[in-house]
Structure 1
Amino acid sequence: MTNFSNTFLNSLQKNKILLWLLILAITLLWGYAWVLMKASLDYMGPFTFSAFRFGVGSLTLLLVMWLMKLGLPPRRYWKPIVIVGILQTSVVFLLVMYGLRFVDAGKSSVLLYSMPMWSSILALKFLGEKITPPKFTGLMIGMLGLLTILGWDIWVGQNIEVIFGELLIIIAAISWAISNVYYRINLQQLAKIQASAYQMLFGTIGIIIAALVMEWNQPIVLNVHSIYYILFTGVLASALCFTVWFLILSLIDMVTATISTLLVPMFGLVFSSLLLNEKMSAGVAVGSGMIIAGILIAQITKKRGIHSHD
């Protein structure tokens, strides 16, 4: 199994098209997951849904590890795993799910994906990555694209609840950025599936505690729809996507990896307009175009130095 993993990693490093297809796949799945996260609030509290989602995700990964006969991670990794679990799973998704009570799914996904900006700043300071002019330009165009999608209503005419929800989601974005950099420093050498499974397990424990404290007596409706939301977001958007995300983080530099995730809010907005009837404005179309342009511009240097951390 280790030989297969190494062969797969090597082929990904050599084949950038395959790597970008993987990025496209997880950003599509994450984009669609936003719709399900918003829709789940009709059936249960936001923390309860997250507990189900990441509980299913953790169990899926632990089962896969058991089938692969992978043991426990070495002792030196336990503390970093717990920290990544709290930052990336507990904090991010507790804040995001609570924020979704006040903010549209499409707009929420846009706010969370201010994460590349925070990641790039942290990578500059803590990983010694240089932001080359094309990367900086691409990042700025992408972030301007996000602001274009949000439109003027983030600055004017907002009620206090919506602003509160938006602030929670921006804090979640900063927490995710910190966990990305912390992962690169402390867990880079650990098997990706182990890192993903155990950080998710510890993160889920934090979410379960929050759900028990905050939503003890709230109704839970389990039917075909809500179970589908739990299984899709748990198995595909969590177990699969976060394992692939850790793989991507270990193969390419932080700035490129995180800029690529700007595709998620674009897909989130498309799915939200199709499935939740959230309005798709001209600003959304222009902003989405800017995000794609930003990602393409950021890739210019990769032609000259594919493996460099620039």
Structure 2
Amino acid sequence: MKKPLRPAEATAAAAAVVTVVLWASAFVSIRSAGAAYSPGALALGRLASGALALGVLCLVRREGLPPRSAWRGIAISGALWFGFYMVVLNWGEQQVDAGTAALVVNIGPILIALLGSRLLGDAMPPRLLAGMAVSFAGAVTVGLSMSGEGGSSVLGVALCLLAAVAYAGGVVAQKPALSRAGALQVTTFGCLVGAVLCLPFTGQLVQDAADAPVSATLNMVYLGVFPTALAFTTWAYALARTTASRMGATTYAVPALVVLMSWLALGEVPGLLTLAGGVLCLAGVAVSRSRPRARAKAEAVRATATATDPEPEQVP
């Protein structure tokens, strides 16, 4: 019988699910807002909305400044993931079709696993490697099935590749910071760092906002409040309780959810090959997050022993 998740594990798993669902929804919103906003302006508007929402939440919760030891990781992840990643991804998606972008960006979890193993000492168990291989095959299938309109360009592929590298570097830099500061602190100040770096796009944002339809602006605000402020916080919460490699593998579920959301929201009916790729993505995530039976049984035995053993006597 499968061992039930402990409360902390269940909460972290729920946080990861929230993150993946909201990040998948971002692709639909970016498609809408990106038609009216330039890449830099969209990134700045998204980050400004996210920073404002996170700042209000920090004030309500009376969160203080992160400790000095956490600032290096916050600054690096803020510059790479919140700032650079969002600009080049927005730009890249204007150059290539959605399938190619999803395929190239999904190199990110592989880079996270390699960097996490090298820099953070993350374990690379066979199930994690197998799950990543299955999910990557699914991402390739989704990407190839959605690509076919001739919208790819060398520049667009290069930009999406840069986005994947920035994503991986940001995650690996964020992980140590989460051992020194709370998830909300790391997310808030990382978002603020990204917003500050995007300030040169202020003039473009003002100009685009004056001409953009209300729906595009609302999509930009949605991107800031939900896929950024909320989803990056739940991501940080879950990342603090597992390895960077395992969390990176979890994001392979995003392409499958994007296919489903595009189907429901945009009426884009996926083909059989696309559906098959989505199933492979989800199957790979399930494999990568599973644990061997022997390990689960050993943990159950230890938990039972801890619960039944009497507390040791206190030495005066």
- The bucket for the TM-score relative to the shorter chain is 0.7 to 0.9
Give secondary structure in 1 for the equivalent of 2:249.
helix
| Structure-2 separation of matches of 1:257 and 1:183 | 12
Do the aligned partners of 1:119 and 1:180 also contact (CA within 8 Å) in 2?
yes
Contact persistence 2:99–2:143 (CA under 8 A)? no
Pairing partner for 1:230 from 194, 197, 220:
220
CA, structure 1 residues 219+22, in 2 after alignment: closer, same or farther (shift >3 Å)? Answer: closer
Measure, in 2, the Cα distance between the counterparts of 1:81 and 1:93.
16
How far is 1:152 from its partner? 7.4
Cα displacement (A) at 1:163 = 3.5
Matching of residues 197-216 of structure 1 within 5 Å: 197-209=188-200, 211-212=201-202
Kindly provide the amino acid, as one letter, of the partner of residue 258 in structure 2.
Answer: G
Give, in angstroms, the shift of residue 237 of structure 1. Answer: 0.8
Superposition deviation, residue 222 in structure 1 = 4.5
Residue identity matched to 1:234: G
Report sequence identity in percent: 22
Contact 1:105–1:272 (8 Å) recurs in 2 = no
Which residue among 36, 52, 63 is the counterpart of 2:29?
A: 36
Specify whether residues 122 and 16 from structure 1 end up closer, same or farther in structure 2 by C-alpha distance, changes over 3 A only: same
Distance (Å, rounded) in 2 between the aligned partners of 1:41 and 1:175 = 20
2:169 to 167, 178, 181: 178
Cα distance in 2, alignment partners of residues 190 and 84 from structure 1: 14
Which residue is 2:13 aligned to?
20
SS of equivalent to 1:151 = helix
Correspondent of 1:82 among 51, 58, 75? 75
Q: Could you list the per-position Cα deviations for residues 130-168 of structure 1 after superposition, in whole angstroms to 9, with x for gaps in the alignment? A: 2111111111111111111122787x9956x53321221
Are the aligned partners of 2:179 and 2:240 in contact in 1 as well (CA < 8 Å)? yes
Match of 2:119 in 1: 126
Determine whether 1:298 maps to 2:291.
no
Partner of 1:5: none
**Is 1:94 the counterpart of 2:84 in the alignment?**
no
How far 1:302 moved relative to its partner?
Answer: 6.2
> How many residue pairs align between the two structures?
293
> What residue in structure 2 maps to residue 242 of structure 1?
232
Aligned to 2:187: 196
Distance 1:127 1:78 in 2: 17
- Rounded Cα–Cα distance in structure 2 between residues aligned with 1:173 and 1:213: 27
User: Are the aligned partners of 1:88 and 1:175 in contact in 2 as well (CA < 8 Å)?
Assistant: yes
CA offset at residue 298 of structure 1?
1.6
Q: Greater CA radius of gyration, 1 or 2?
A: 2
Report the equivalent of 1:163.
154
CA contact (8 A) 2:21 2:257 kept: yes
Amino acid at match of 1:198: F
Aligned equivalent of 2:311: none
Give, in whole Å, the separation in 2 of the partners of 1:215 and 1:226: 12
Using the size of structure 1 for normalisation, the TM-score is 0.84
Q: Displacement, 1:233? A: 0.9
CA contact (8 A) 2:84 2:166 kept: yes
Stretches of structure 1 lacking an aligned partner (at least 5 in a row) = 1-11
What secondary structure sits across from 2:181 in the alignment? coil
Residues 113 and 264, structure 1, Cα contact 8 Å, conserved in 2: no
Alignment of 1:55 onto 2:48: yes
* 1:115 corresponds to which of 92, 96, 108: 108
Pairwise CA RMSD of aligned residues?
A: 2.7
CA distance in 1, matches of 2:116, 2:171: 9
